[in-house]
Amino acid sequence: MLKKVWLALCLIFGSAVCCLAAVATATAADNDRLLNLGVWQVAAASGFSQSTQMHFDPRQGHVLADILTDRDIRIVAVTFANNSYGARLESAFSNAFRAQGGTIAISVSHQDDKSDYFDEIGALAAAGVEHLVVFGQLDRGGMKIIRTALDTGAFEKFVLGDGMIGGSLIEEIGDELNGTIGTYPGTDGAGSADQMTIGIDPLNTSSVLVGTSVQAGLAIKLEALESGSESGLDSAGDVKLTGIGNATGAYRELEIKNGKFETVKIR
């Protein structure tokens, strides 16, 4: 599917746009238009994996803080991948959560792809809290962290960033994850005709859901950027911009119920 898609990923950070292009069908003219707009592109020919698309979005940290506050979860332990994505998401979440009166009992970084995570889980468990927030990547050690936490009895309640959302998590661990909450980019607006406008389906980590609405939406974004119009960007994929060009896209609040990811609400 990737080779048939013009642009497979478009995330807006401040005034910059980060795109993952299926270069087999992107034209030189398209590329020139993007470069002239200050767009950074990453080409993906094949073997597209979850680990290649983890991009930091500060809004996700604020959304997660809001979710925990709304659920009256006031103290958590946090583990985050020791990379730019994990560290920045942890910082955004922690700052927002504390600003809302929440407490981070302990925050421990973890390296990707370790053989085991007993030391990290031991340190986190020593804080004596119920909820473990995981900002990592499912296929880079995140699965092992949750499995270790459950096997040792350290934690039974989890809060997940988007890098941890995937059908394989439920397939591997099962009903023990019921009640787990998390966030994943997505909307229910007119700009999202597909099941998810773009990205990995939380119920199937092997599929990338990109449809014709994505191509149309990106075309609108390009036109809007070139014309300096904010309204065009707002109409494409439910992406809103602040006065200085920051994106405030929507997130799905997810919860695992009866062994399935379910969308609780759009935030």
Give the closest residue to 100 by CA, choosing from 56, 67, 69, 123.
69
Same domain, 138 and 259: yes
pLDDT tens sequence across 51-106: 444 666 889 999 999 999 999 999 999 999 999 999 999 999 999 999 999 999 99
DSSP 210-229: --HHHHHHHHHHHHHHHHT-
Same domain, 120 and 163: yes
Same domain, 64 and 11: no
**pLDDT below 70 — which residues of the chain?**
1-56, 187-248
241 in a domain, yes or no? Answer: no
Return the amino acid letter for 70: D
- Residues comprising the chain, all counted: 267
Same domain, 64 and 169: yes
Give pLDDT, residue 186.
81
198 in a domain, yes or no? Answer: no
Residue 101 class from Cβ within 10 Å (0-12 exposed, 13-18 middle, 19+ buried)? exposed
Give pLDDT, residue 255.
96
Q: What is the CATH number of the domain that holds 77?
A: 3.40.50.2300
Which residues of the chain form beta strands (DSSP E)?
7-13, 16-21, 39-43, 75-81, 103-110, 131-135, 157-160, 181-185, 200-201, 204-208, 251-257, 260-266
Domain extent at residue 68: 58-186+250-266
What is the bridge-based pairing of β-strands 131-135 and 157-160? parallel
Same domain, 131 and 223: no
Which residue is it, tokens 């759009």? 266
Question: Are 183 and 60 in contact, with CB atoms under 8 Å apart?
Answer: yes
70 in a domain, yes or no? Answer: yes
Degrees (nearest 5) of the Cα angle 158, 161, 163? 115
Q: Which two tokens stand for residue 38?
A: 């200050």
Give the closest residue to 79 by CA, choosing from 105, 52, 53, 46.
105
- Total domains in the chain come to 2
Same domain, 171 and 213: no
Rounded to an integer, what is the distance from CA 165 to the centroid of its chain?
8
Question: Are 249 and 241 in contact, with CB atoms under 8 Å apart?
Answer: no
Same domain, 159 and 222: no
For residue 74, the 8-state DSSP code is: -
196 in a domain, yes or no? Answer: no
197 in a domain, yes or no? Answer: no
Q: Which two tokens stand for residue 37?
A: 């707009």
Q: Which two tokens stand for residue 230?
A: 């904010």
* Helices 142-151 and 118-125: angle between axes, nearest 10 degrees: 60
